[in-house]
Amino acid sequence: MKITNEQLKQIIKEELEAVMNESIPQLYGIYAANRARKAKGKMGSDPDNPYRTGYGPGASSSAAQRDREQAKADREAAASAAQSKANAEREQLNRDEAASLEALGQAKLKAIQALGLDEDSDLPYMNAYGRDDNPNNLSNYYDGPLDFFDAINLAKDAGELSDNAIEQESGGFNLDELFPGKYI
């Protein structure tokens, strides 16, 4: 079966009329929306979107592209939040370390005040690892934010207590070894 150009034009015309008759209410809505938009102005009428419809950043983006962009933005926000949290924790640790070293220095002063000098006019010999109520346990005089043993290790790291100052067998050391020349 062969269709002539005249017959094809007639079929298209009939189909187009049928579609137009079905969608006249829709067309009226589109027409009214376009008139309202034109009444506001061609560009910049919407303060939230200064671009005309179909123009500007992201206008031709697909839903998948927008989802990828949103996921990337979410990842960047999460990474930024994690970095901020890590920075805050690092700053808090630095404050705790400084406060712990100061508390350890104050513990040295308290021990000297409580025990006085020994018979040779030297600073007292202290136990580094004791936790009981013995007045020769330096931990009894310490009240810093970090654990006492962490503060002792921090003093070693800071060079305020030599690595070999605390005797291996007894766990004792002379207070001269802690913050040498300081807190006297």
- For 154-175, the pLDDT digits (tens) are 888 888 888 888 888 878 887 7
Tokens 């030297």: give the residue: 122
pTM comes to 0.50
- For 41-77, the pLDDT digits (tens) are 554 445 555 555 544 555 555 777 888 888 888 888 8
Give which of 72, 90, 109, 77 is closest to 184, Cα–Cα.
109
What is d(CA 145, CA 75) in angstroms, rounded to the nearest whole number?
35
What is the secondary structure of 61-87 as a DSSP string? Answer: --HHHHHHHHHHHHHHHHHHHHHHHHH
- For 104-113, the pLDDT digits (tens) are 888 888 888 8
Q: How many other CB atoms are there within 10 angstroms of residue 34's CB atom?
A: 11
Q: Are 141 and 111 in contact (CB under 8 A)?
A: yes
CB-based contacts of 142, cutoff 8 Å, min separation 6: 103, 104, 107, 148, 151
